[in-house]
């Protein structure tokens, strides 16, 4: 329940990125894949991912160009 309430306080871009990850919770997605799905600019997606990481909605796996993001269960 608190998960839903705090999601309402996100920016529209962060909420869009969160919904992409929610639609495929078993997948670890790269920034590029999220950009292609949402058609948002890369920097906007990067900023949204950082917000979601800060609020612990998602986890980061890997380093550098191999970074992937996945919804926290």
Percentage helix, strand, coil, to 5, in the chain?
60, 10, 30
pTM confidence score: 0.87
Q: What is the pLDDT of residue 43?
A: 97
Residue-by-residue pLDDT tens, the chain, 73 positions? 445 546 678 899 999 999 999 999 999 999 999 999 999 999 999 999 999 999 999 999 999 999 999 999 7
Q: How confident is the model at residue 2, as a pLDDT?
A: 47
Joined together, the tokens standing for residue 18 give: 């969160």
């Amino acid at each position: 329940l608190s998960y839903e309430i705090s999601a309402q306080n996100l920016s529209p871009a962060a909420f869009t990125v969160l919904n992409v990850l929610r639609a495929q919770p078993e997948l670890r997605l790269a920034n590029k894949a999220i950009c292609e799905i949402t058609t948002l600019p890369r920097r906007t997606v990067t900023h949204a991912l950082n917000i979601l990481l800060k609020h612990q909605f998602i986890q980061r796996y890997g380093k550098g160009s191999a970074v992937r993001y996945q919804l926290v269960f």
